[in-house]
Amino acid sequence: MSKSKAPAAEESAPGKKKSKLAVAIVAGVVLLIALIGAKSMLGHKKPAGPPKPVEGKEMALDSFLVNLAGKNDHYLKTTISLGLQKGVDEKKITDHTAAIRDCILTILTSKHRKDISGTAGEEELKSEIKDGINKVLAKPDVVNVYFTEFATQ
């Protein structure tokens, strides 16, 4: 009787070895996939886009006194300073002063008093002026626009 039980035990041993090997392989593959997934989730940073330009010198412009758009005879008196990108030659900007002032005057005279009222209106105006000047210069040389004086009547 012992002979009949021995072959059955021998037949099941290779099957158990194959089964354990298959389980070990599957476990290894699952672990590998989990590690790759964790690395991609933790190690992968979203691209931040182009680096924000660093501001260098500031350049003050002469004051502006303009009639605002509309029928109500409202005026704006403002003085603006431009925050130039670090490394930009100030002479390049001063060579285009007339075009820059024209751009700013065109933007300012197109605004109604309600358009430039409050912080949000002023921030939008700064952004529009910066974009307009950079278009005139054909390069993003102006990083910030600062109002050093801003009064409406």
Q: Write the pLDDT tens digit of every residue in 124-147.
A: 999 999 999 999 998 889 999 999
| Tokens encoding 45 | 């940073």
Residues 34-43, mean pLDDT to the nearest whole number: 73
Q: Give percent above pLDDT 70 in the chain.
A: 82
Which CATH number applies to 55-152? 3.30.479.30
Encoded tokens for 58: 């500031």
Upper half-sphere CA count for residue 50 (Cβ side, 13 Å):
4
Q: Is the pLDDT of residue 109 over 70?
A: yes
Q: Which of 15-24, 81-90, 96-105 has the highest mean pLDDT?
A: 96-105
For residue 44, what pLDDT is reported? 57
- φ, ψ (nearest 5 deg) of residue 72: -95, 15
Contact 116, 73 (CB under 8 A): no
Rounded-to-integer distance, Cα 153 and Cα 74, Å? 5
What are the boundaries of each domain within the chain?
A: 1-45, 55-152
Q: Left if phi > 0, otherwise alpha if psi is -120 to 50, otherwise beta: which for 70?
A: left
Q: Which pLDDT does position 102 carry in this prediction?
A: 97
- Dist CA 91 CA 79 (whole Å): 20
What is the pLDDT, as a whole number, of residue 28?
84
The pLDDT assigned to 72 comes to 75
How far is C-alpha 41 from the chain's CA centre? 22
Structure tokens at 135: 């278009």
